[in-house]
Every structure is written in structure tokens, then in C-alpha cells.
Copies of this chain bind each other. A is one copy, B any other.
Amino acid sequence: MELTPGNVTVEQVAAMIDHSLLRPELTTAEVEAGCALAARYRVASVCVRPSDVGLAVGLLGGSGVLTGTVAGFPHGSTTTAAKVAETREAIAAGSAEIDMVLHIGRLRSRDLTYVEADIAAVVEAAEGAAVKVILENAYLTDDEKVAGCRAAERAGAAFVKTSTGFAPGGATLADVALMRATVGPSVQVKAAGGVRTLDVLLEFASAGVTRFGATATATILDDLAHRQRHGTPVPTTSATSGY
């Protein structure tokens, strides 16, 4: 279904956004401000750095906004044991979702047994919490993207996700279409890296993406609210990315 500013609500779009607070240089004050923004806009979740899970859970209690975090991020080349330990610690601290990076090098080496077992171990450690498997498409051929999606689905992933936001490239329309066509209906697709405008978000959502990693959350949602009130986009000079 084609989604447009005329047929979605601000609440519906907000419910598709994981507000990303993953940049390594963010200060504690910036993480706190980001959590406040997430609560104000009622997004699906914040995606924070592993060391910030406790802080975010404390700030977001009662807000309806979940706290999620990452494992093996952003390179995916830590050991399976390390990814499992990170996942267990995050779940114990209150993380409701885990965005893990699959082993990019082993996928490119066609060691799909390793790739699938690595994901499955994190899914098991997550104890039912949704696991989103980041493929980091910037490094992959289309064949490798398909193989990665299939390994993730077999291993019990809830989502396949395009990108970390820290590689040379992020989400593309071609990639989300390929990923959506590859996985079955029980696996969702998350786009991240470069989703900075409402128009891109709606274009990707129309292609089947149901969750977005974004830092431009305020820009995107303010733009939708403005268009619905006034019929025109927010003047670009007032657009801010916030945290």
C-alpha cells in the first residue's frame, strides 16, 4: 500500500521509529535529551548504546517508549560468546529489543553455518525479545544480502535490518525491496542509515518497511504534522535533527 502524508497519522509514523542514540561521541546529557525527545514524540523505542540501557530504561519508564540496544555493533566481528553476553546483560538491564550485527566477513566467506549459529545464539539469549539482524548491505552483493536474510529468518530473527548507520552506505529502496521479497511474512524489515526525511520514510514504508532507525525523528514527525495542518512541508530552514 502506498503511504502518503494524507493517509497516515503522526502516531502511526512515530510508532515505526526507533530513535537512534548510537553515536560514540554522545554525552550523557545528549542521551538524556534524546530520551526526552523520544518520549515527547511517542516513538516505538530508543536504540541506545549498551552502556546507556539502564539510564534510558529509568528515563522512559511509564512513557510507553521501549528501550532497545545493540550487540556486536557496528562491525559484527566480535565472537558469538561476546554477542550472547552483551545480549544477556542488555535484557537483564531492561532492553526490550536487540539490534545485532551479523558476521559480515563470514557471510562474505559463505560460512553460512557460522552466520546462522551466531544469530541463533543471540535469539536464544534474548529470551523472546525481538532480535533485529543488521546485514550492513554496504559491504554485500545482492546474493549475500539474500543469504544473510535467509540465515536470519532460519535463526529466528524478528527483523532484518539494512544498515548500522556507520558504514559507507545506508538503506536504499532497492535493498529494502529485495529484503522484503526474501523473508517471509513473519519477519519484518527495518531500514536505517540515511532515512532523514518524511518522503524517504514513506517511500520505504510503502515498500514494506515497518520500522526505521532515525536520528532525524523530530524533523520527520514535525514535517508530517505540518503538512497535515497546512498542506505544505515544514520550511526546510526550521528543520532540525535533534538527538
Q: Which positions 39-82 of chain A face chain B at CB distance < 8 Å?
A: 49-52, 73-82
Docked complex: A159-180 residues within 8 A CB-CB of B:
166-167
Interface 9-mer from A106-114, A147-155, A202-210, A215-223: A106-114
- CA of A79 to CA of B7, assembled, Å: 42
Give the CA-CA distance A198 to B136 in the complex, in Å: 33
- Assess whether A31 is interfacial by the CB under 8 Å rule: yes
Please tell me if the beta carbons of A24 and B139 are within 8 angstroms of each other in the complex: yes
Cβ contacts under 8 Å, A85 to chain B: 81-82, 85
A25 B82 Cβ-Cβ under 8 A? no
Residues on A lying within 8 angstroms of B by beta carbon are 22, 24-31, 49-52, 73-82, 85-86, 89, 101, 103-106, 108-109, 111, 136, 139, 166-167
Closest to A27 in B: B109
A-B contact pairs, 28 of them (CB 8 A): A22-B77, A24-B76, A24-B101, A24-B104, A24-B105, A24-B167, A25-B105, A25-B108, A25-B139, A27-B108, A28-B109, A30-B105, A49-B75, A49-B78, A50-B77, A50-B78, A50-B82, A51-B77, A51-B80, A51-B106, A74-B74, A74-B75, A79-B89, A81-B85, A82-B82, A82-B86, A82-B89, A85-B85
A111 to chain B: which residues have CB within 8 Å?
28
CA distance A79 to B78 in the complex (A): 14
Shortest distance from the beta carbon of A194 to any chain B beta carbon, whole Å: 17
Residues of B within 8 A of A109 (CB): 27-29
Give me 11 other A-B pairs in contact (C-beta within 8 A), A24-B74, A28-B109, A51-B103 excluded.
Answer: A24-B167, A25-B104, A25-B105, A25-B139, A28-B111, A29-B109, A50-B77, A78-B86, A82-B85, A82-B89, A166-B166
Complex CA–CA separation, A186 to B222 (angstroms) = 54
Which residues from chain B contact A28 at a C-beta distance below 8 Å?
A: 105-106, 109, 111
